[in-house]
Amino acid sequence: MPKLYLVGAGPGDPGLLTCKAFQLLQRADVVVYDRLVSAEVLAVANPAATFIFAGKLQGEQERIQSEIHAHLLENAADGKVVVRLKGGDPMVFGRGAEEWAFLNSHGIDVELVPGISSALAVPALAGIPVTLRGVATSFAVIAGHRQNLEPQEWDRYRMVDTLVLLMAVENRAAIAANLLRAGRLPEEPVAFIERGATERERVVVATLGIVARGQVEVSAPAVFVVGQVVRMRRHLQRVVREAGVDALEAVYAGR
């Protein structure tokens, strides 16, 4: 039976790939990769492989997904070593289960190779634990690109200690406003970690109220964290600190 490998690329640093993911990339004939897979991770793959970009465009997700299915099916059916490479973990907002089911329905065996999820690793690497004894005993990972969410649907997140939002940069002000309506406090600390786990990482710390007012400038991709655990960053940062980060934190936190 033809086989395909559904592989998590982790948060961006190739050193955070699993051993199995690294080995598969080294012998891959075809690598079908998403927009969030870093150039550094792609660089460890077999240079003789065929690389197929499978990033989505706003409004064309379903058409592009059909094309991705076709690429996967065609190459796997030819007996090639096909790696379907997704940022973070394939089963966390990555349509991994959908692609797996599609391939199974067409007689293609799928082997999952989990990856380190950006939802947990990116905040942690920036000095923000999603749980902390005495501060946060619960967390939720939320897709922030769902523009059809009604304000009242955010009520379920009012009592969750830490919120981690992926794909939320574009809708950050609306999300923050909905969380305030749900009962979270405007002074609650938040952080945006841009391009986490790479040399281009940038961290912006603010408050939920400031984000709701549209006063925080952030570029995608970024992980959006809400909760008191953000305050731990000042204690858990690495000794060598990025130029400019502290100034940004002081400006936003002091408003």
pLDDT digits (tens, 9 = 90+) for 31-61: 999 999 999 999 999 999 999 999 876 666 7
* pLDDT score at 145: 80
The 10s digit of each residue's pLDDT in 186-231 is 999 999 999 999 888 999 999 999 999 999 999 999 999 999 999 9
What the chain holds in terms of domains, given with CATH numbers, is 3-116 (3.40.1010.10), 119-253 (3.30.950.10)
Point out the residues that are catalytic: 34, 56, 167
Q: Is the pLDDT of residue 242 over 60?
A: no
* pLDDT score at 64: 86
User: CA-CA distance, 112 to 168, in Å (whole number)?
Assistant: 27
Computed over every residue of the chain, the mean pLDDT equals 90
* pLDDT score at 244: 41
* pLDDT score at 243: 40
* pLDDT score at 153: 84
Residue 233: C-alpha distances to residues 87, 88, 181, 241 (Å) = 24, 22, 27, 12
Q: Is the pLDDT of residue 167 over 60?
A: yes
Q: Is the pLDDT of residue 75 over 50?
A: yes
Q: In sequence order, what are the beta bridge partners of 141? A: 164
Q: What percent of the chain has pLDDT over 70?
A: 89
* pLDDT score at 57: 64
What's the mean pLDDT in 243-254? 42
DSSP string, the chain: --EEEEEE-BTS-GGGS-HHHHHHHHH-SEEEE-TTS-HHHHTTS-TTSEEEE----TT-HHHHHHHHHHHHHHHHHTT--EEEEESB-TTSSS-HHHHHHHHHHTT-EEEEE----HHHHHHHHTT--S-BTTTBS-EEEEETT-TT--GGGGGGGTT-SEEEEES-STTHHHHHHHHHHTT--TT-EEEEEETTTSTT-EEEEEEHHHHHTT-----SSEEEEESGGGGGHHHHS-SS--TTHHHHHHHHHT-
Q: Is the pLDDT of residue 251 over 80?
A: no
Which of 252, 249, 241 has the alpha carbon at shortest distance from 201?
241
The 10s digit of each residue's pLDDT in 85-118 is 999 999 999 899 999 999 999 999 999 999 999 9
> What's this model's pTM, rounded to 2 decimal places?
0.89
